């Protein structure tokens, strides 16, 4: 198992991956994943309104889709990030994983991670920190990044 600690800072559009060998050390950005489809406004993607169903009583009822476009795109991007993390874990590129994401994306990412990758997560922050520079970002984490239990 690698001594490398990976810090993943993500939202539904961007995932930035940072690494450090020292729990007390500075972090360095090593990869960025982008999902621009999540930026598209819902209205721009829908060409027609949801279908309407007639009721026997007066009035109409509009049927809503079970999942919005943004929820689908969030799930797709979370799966992409999880796949990247799973492949890197399998290749031995890290031994400890720290996650920071807004609550909705953090939940989607948790669901998408396989059990072995999820077991390496030692810290989660439910904040959107994607736009911060490296120094400002590091201040949002504990001074000592936690290492996985061996």
Residue 61 lies in a domain: no
pLDDT above 50: residue 60 = no
Residue 47 lies in a domain: no
CATH of the domain at 2: 3.30.420
- Both tokens of 24, joined, read 């007390």
CA gap 6, 125 in Å, rounded? 14
pLDDT confidence of 140, banded at 50, 70, 90?
very high
Residue 48 lies in a domain: no
Residue 49 lies in a domain: no
pLDDT in the model for residue 67: 62
Domain span at residue 139 reads: 1-17+33-38+67-150
Residue 106 lies in a domain: yes
pLDDT in the model for residue 83: 98
Provide, rounded to the nearest whole percent, the portion of the chain with pLDDT above 90.
70
Residue 60 lies in a domain: no
**List of residues 6+ apart from 78 with CB closer than 8 A:** 105, 108, 109, 111, 112
pLDDT confidence of 149, banded at 50, 70, 90?
low
Residue 119 lies in a domain: yes
**pTM greater than 0.85 (yes/no):** no
Work out how many domains the chain is built from and give that number: 1
Residue 57 lies in a domain: no
pLDDT above 60: residue 57 = no
pLDDT in the model for residue 69: 83
- Both tokens of 18, joined, read 């940072």
């Amino acid at each position: 198992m690698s001594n490398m600690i990976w810090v993943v800072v993500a939202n539904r559009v961007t995932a930035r991956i940072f690494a450090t060998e020292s729990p007390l050390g500075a972090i360095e950005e090593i990869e960025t994943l982008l999902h621009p489809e999540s930026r598209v406004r819902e209205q721009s993607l829908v060409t027609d309104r949801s279908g309407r169903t007639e009721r026997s009583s007066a009035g109409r009822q509009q049927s809503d889709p079970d999942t919005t476009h943004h929820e689908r795109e969030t799930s797709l991007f979370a799966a992409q990030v999880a796949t990247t993390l799973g492949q890197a874990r399998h290749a031995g590129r890290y031994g400890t994983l720290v996650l920071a994401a807004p609550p909705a994306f953090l939940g989607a990412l948790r669901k998408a991670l396989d059990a072995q990758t999820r077991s390496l997560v030692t810290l989660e922050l439910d904040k959107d920190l994607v736009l911060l520079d490296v120094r400002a970002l590091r201040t949002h984490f504990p001074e000592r990044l936690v290492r996985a239990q061996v």
